[in-house]
Structure 1
Amino acid sequence: MTGKAQKEIAISACKNQKQYLLVSRSMGQESLKDAMAEASGNSELHLIFQGIPDGVTVQEGVLDIQRMAREFDPVPSVGLNPLMFRRQNVKDVPHSILFSPGHWQGNKCIQSVIASMRGLTNYDYLLKQVENGRSGDLGKLGPTVAISEENFMDAIEEKIKTTDWDSMKKRAAETVWEDYPMESLPAARTDRIFQIDPTVVAIQDIVTPDGQVVARKGDRINQLEVMPFNQLLVILNPLREKEIKAAKQIIAQGKADGLKVSVLATKIDRDHGWESYNKIVKTMGQHVFLLTQEVRQRFQIRSTLSVVTADEGKFLIREVAL
């Protein structure tokens, strides 16, 4: 869902969602079922919790709420809304609130409380009192209990405060290579050169938005004629010293010929991670990329050391045995 769509939903909810019954698992199963039944019979009533029980994941907590709701037909509107509890300073439940239609200001929903009450799950009672002209805090009209769940926003903020972000970043940097995909290839056994013709045939007319014809159906298009490949790709296993030495000579010649040189490695020492990678970069004297599956397949790279150039409308792939 796009950010614009999410905002439209929030604005609509701000304007139309006015009835809330705030609850907690501390109320017990029977009282919670009474609240669920109340919301099931009133499509405009939203039953909300401020958090999930200790010892369960967010997913498990939300699924448990949904499981309780599915016992009723129609299924009531139930969910988490920790901000509502915080903004209304709700400490005990059940707590019913009726809001005025809201309006969106900046990135915030502005609503005012018409009436509220504590101690009853019978939301209709609140609505009838408003119909009779009452408003504001109607007080405690029945037994209430303290909320057992930690406010989800408080839990997130505490987690942020107590997390050792420096250690996490350091750990992430240290372990990034452990699962990094690498296109490991065998060493070339014989010297070989082969060509790849990048010519394609247009299967239909290719026309720009302003009506200019780029190609007609059946035309043969060579991408190297459209965009010259003034590059030298060197694909090597930097853990093989012979390949390092040969690659440096090839790179030097390529730079002397005015080609843009890219070095693609098929492997690094995972056990030494960044230390291994930085050593390779220092040895090659330039940035080193890791060979991707897409590049390997595009140029049919099957071994190292391999060198890719282009000439006379074709890619030239040279395999160097060492």
Structure 2
Amino acid sequence: MKKALAMILCGLIMYPAWAQEILGPSYPITEPDMLEAIQDKLKSMEKNGRLGQLQKEAIERSKQSIERPDPVKGIVKTRQPRTFYFDPSWRVPRDITTPDGKVIARAGDMVNPLDYVPLSNHLFFFDQSDPKQVKKAAEILKRFKGAVKPILVAGEPLALTRQWKRQVYFDQSGHLVRRFGIQQIPALVSQEVAQRRLRIDEMKAD
């Protein structure tokens, strides 16, 4: 066995070309600089104008998402008007204290935010793509002498803000309508006098 191994080693030394053919050629290990590769790619894209085009497209997408956010899903135009109530009370999960250690609420207590901060403005949810709902929103604003926060579930809040010369909001991802349990629009959210709950009216626009 030792003799055979010696012969193989001797052959590798004596015949390097033969050894290279069997073992395969060897190459130096090289690893491209990732940052340099990215910079080269960006320079190439800048040179052929592709980088500028991508920047314009990104700006346009951002502008569109601000001017016209994605509509809230799962909301329909009111077919059957209904009135229901929402109790915002919640159970305190752990003691709430002030910086100096004074306990404001203890774990397990039921707290109603309306006891501390009443709803000073009505909330009106509507779809701008429906002219009847836009007209209804204008009527609601007039009825309550502007003490209303108009909130879109679909449409262009900035464009309507410019048109009405007052702030128009958008219910991003439908967080508010889901929180209140609103399923149909237009819908008006109000706090009745001396009540610790919110009244919600899903109404027809016409």
Q: Which TM-score tier does this pair reach, normalised by the shorter chain?
A: 0.5 to 0.7
In the other structure, the counterpart of 1:237 is 127
Distance 1:30-1:310 versus aligned 2 partners, 3 A rule: farther
Letter in 1 for 2:178: Q
Aligned to 2:15: none
Alignment of 1:54-133 (within 5 A): 80=34, 82=36
- 1:152 matched to 2:38: yes
Q: TM-score, normalised by structure 2?
A: 0.67
Equivalent residue for 1:49?
A: 32
Q: Counting helix residues as a fraction of each chain, which structure ranks higher? A: 2
Structure 1 counterpart of 2:26, from 30, 37, 50: 30
Native 8 Å contact 1:48 1:81 kept in 2: no
Distance (whole Å) between structure 1 residues aligned to residue 77 and residue 35 of structure 2: 59
Note closer, same or farther for the CA distance 1:310–1:30 as it changes in structure 2 (3 Å cut): farther
Checking the alignment, whether the CA contact within 8 Å between 1:248 and 1:284 is kept in structure 2 is no
- Amino acid aligned to 1:266: V
Cα offsets for 1:110-147 (capped at 9, x unmatched): xxxxxxxxxxxxxxxxxxxxxxxxxxxxxxxxxxxxxx
- The 3 A distance-change label for structure 1 pair 199 and 294 is same
Instruction: Map 1:135-214 to 2 at 5 A.
Output: 151-160=37-46, 162=49, 163-164=51-52, 167-168=56-57, 171-172=60-61, 176=65, 180-184=69-73, 185-214=75-104
Please list the CA deviations of residues 238-266 of structure 1 after superposition, one character each: whole Å capped at 9, or x if unmatched. 2222211121011123335xx3x322222
Shift in Å at residue 153 of structure 1?
2.1
Asked whether the equivalents of residues 233 and 263 of structure 1 are also in contact (C-alpha less than 8 Å), the reply is: yes
Name the CA distance, whole Å, in 2 between partners of 1:202 and 1:173: 39
Q: CA deviation at 1:173?
A: 5.6
Question: By percentage of residues, which structure has more strand?
Answer: 1
Secondary structure, aligned partner of 2:27: helix
User: 1:266 and 1:302 mapped to 2: Cα distance?
Assistant: 11
| Residue 287 of structure 1: how far off its partner (Å) | 3.5
- Distance in 1 between the 2:81 and 2:164 partners? 23
Cross-structure match for 1:250: 140
Corresponding position: 1:294 with 2:180 = no
Aligned length: 173
Tell me if the contact between 1:196 and 1:316 (Cα under 8 Å) persists in the aligned partners. yes
State the 1:191 CA deviation. 3.3
Query: Per-residue displacement from partner, 1:191-228 (whole Å, max 9, x unpaired)?
Result: 32221111123344323343110112343211111222
Q: 1:210 to 1:30 in 2, by over 3 A?
A: farther
Cα 1:278–1:175 shift into 2, 3 Å? closer
Pair 216,193 (structure 1): closer, same or farther in 2 beyond 3 Å: same
**TM-score, normalization: structure 1?**
0.46
Equivalent of 1:318, from 182, 197, 201?
201
Distance 2:199 2:152 in 1: 19
RMSD: 3.1
Identity %: 20
Q: 1:152 to 1:219 in 2, by over 3 A?
A: closer
The 2-side partners of 1:175 and 1:197 are apart by 36
User: Which letter maps to 1:49?
Assistant: P
Partner letter of residue 182 of structure 1?
A: P
Partner SS, residue 246 of structure 1: helix
Taking the aligned partners of 1:277 and 1:228, their CA distance within structure 2 comes to: 26
